[in-house]
Structure 1
């Protein structure tokens, strides 16, 4: 649920000073509280996806990072960042985007796992934010139905490549030879 902060918008350095247990996103001036913690199923799906990406990416230039703050504008100076998101899973292939506490710039692939409180934000607000910032591939995981929707950025628009279920293998389009067996995920 967003909370409007009109006059004194929180900067990222102020947010960092609040402590590690405080988790917020700020999107277009809206402050989104990231608590309570996700469900066990949500976390299990995230763990399995991260495992599959880690196995494939070991020794390669790209890296999978769960739950990290991302400045999609690519800002490095924490005193200037006024908008950031915290995707469930990010794949980063440009290591120069990795900063001490955040990623500065669009990840190559973002995965969001829906919950009741985040579904609209993930399917609309973040969908458009990721598209406009140049995320190459966006997955929306629906744990209620064990489905994954895959979108690819083509001509500055997300194009849906399909909806996949537990019996499917999903092609990770930013890589030539990675397919993830969803039976291992759900």
Structure 2
């Protein structure tokens, strides 16, 4: 779920602005910049639905809860004021184990595990911007799913940084690092293994450098952003 958006240099977008936008449109905010989302493709929904089913079955009767998009995750560590929150995302799947992070608006704070399902249009956004955001805000485990290749890249947080991802394909179950007995059946997600199946090697964009931290105080914007101004649609 990705695309480009032009930033208004005179103001930053907050969760308070976001709440005033049309309810029939979906947006995410990263570092005060808004990104518009188109409706997902069929394969995205099929893969997302199967992941959700297996996660929900595993966590049934347990403390952790599973949520599918659209579900607002406010990645702010301090202030709960809507006008002081500048990172709001709607992960494809969010797993939250701390009930204190859940409220009527969604989740305030970092989920324990997030799953994002890629499309050609979302590669840079999910694998760069959102991965850096999840690392910075302490999401313990982050899965990037490649639906056309039938693969999962699992990033685990260690000492505040994501380690090199573990890659799972159709020949193996996708196993969580923080829930050791949780194994996702990849053939249920992507279908039976076809004859002559060969594991495709996927280039891994990886950096051990820490994500940049937000610095300085933010001044409250004096202007109100137009609801549809400077937002570019992107395909999921």
Separation in 2, partners of 1:126, 1:26: 10
The runs of 4+ residues in structure 1 deviating greater than 3 Å are none
Kindly indicate whether the alpha-carbon contact (under 8 Å) linking 2:14 and 2:32 is maintained by their aligned counterparts in 1.
no
Q: Which has the higher contact order (CA 8 A, sep 6+)?
A: 2
Kindly indicate whether the alpha-carbon contact (under 8 Å) linking 1:5 and 1:29 is maintained by their aligned counterparts in 2.
no
- Largest Rg, 1 or 2: 2
- Which of 142, 152, 155 is the aligned partner of 1:151? 155
Separation in 2, partners of 1:30, 1:11: 9
How far residue 161 of structure 1 moved from its aligned partner, in angstroms, is 4.3
Is 1:4 the counterpart of 2:11? The answer is: no
Is 1:90 the counterpart of 2:94? The answer is: yes
Kindly indicate whether the alpha-carbon contact (under 8 Å) linking 1:38 and 1:115 is maintained by their aligned counterparts in 2.
no
1:6-85 paired onto structure 2 within 5 Å: 6-35=9-38, 37-67=39-69, 68-74=71-77, 75-85=79-89
Give 3-state SS (helix, strand or coil) of 2:188's partner.
coil
Separation in 2, partners of 1:22, 1:7: 24
Residue 103 of structure 2 is matched in structure 1 by: 99
Structure 1 residue runs of 5 or longer lacking an equivalent are none
What RMSD over aligned residues (CA atoms) do the two structures have, in Å?
A: 1.5
Separation in 2, partners of 1:125, 1:9: 17
Kindly indicate whether the alpha-carbon contact (under 8 Å) linking 1:5 and 1:31 is maintained by their aligned counterparts in 2.
no
Structure 2 residue runs of 5 or longer lacking an equivalent are 191-236
Q: 1:162 to 1:176 in 2, by over 3 A?
A: closer
How far residue 160 of structure 1 moved from its aligned partner, in angstroms, is 2.8
| TM value normalised by structure 2 | 0.74
How far residue 5 of structure 1 moved from its aligned partner, in angstroms, is 2.4
How far residue 180 of structure 1 moved from its aligned partner, in angstroms, is 0.9
1:131-142 paired onto structure 2 within 5 Å: 131-142=135-146
Separation in 1, partners of 2:138, 2:11: 29
* Count of equivalent residues: 185
Query: Cα deviation per residue 1:9-61 (whole Å; 9 max; x = unaligned)?
Result: 332133222232121111123211112x1110011111000100100111110
Query: Cα deviation per residue 1:57-99 (whole Å; 9 max; x = unaligned)?
Result: 1111001111212111144332322221111111000111112
Higher mean C-alpha displacement, 108-117 vs 172-181: 172-181
